[in-house]
Amino acid sequence: MTVCVRCIVSGRVQGVFFRAMTQRKALELKISGWARNLPDGSVEVLACGDEANVKDLQDWLWIGPQHAKVTDVSVTRVEQRVVKGFSVG
């Protein structure tokens, strides 16, 4: 089953290659969507794909790249969207 979720990742997640590594992991899991920095210092991730793979990405967001320090991942299911690839904004 295909699902889409919007995740807000908080903590030390900007300036530590979080978006680039999220893109790499998402492409590995065949997930489409995007990752972008928000003005408050968090990172917003839209992830659409197979439910199990999206769950794997959500779990990975709690870890992130080596220098990240994630304090929270807020997840909201959103209406399914047609997104090709995984972009970083």
Active site residues: 19, 37
With contact defined as beta carbons under 8 Å apart, do 38 and 14 qualify?
no
Report how far Cα 13 is from the mean position of its chain's Cα atoms. Answer: 11
C-alpha 49/C-alpha 30 separation (Å) is: 7
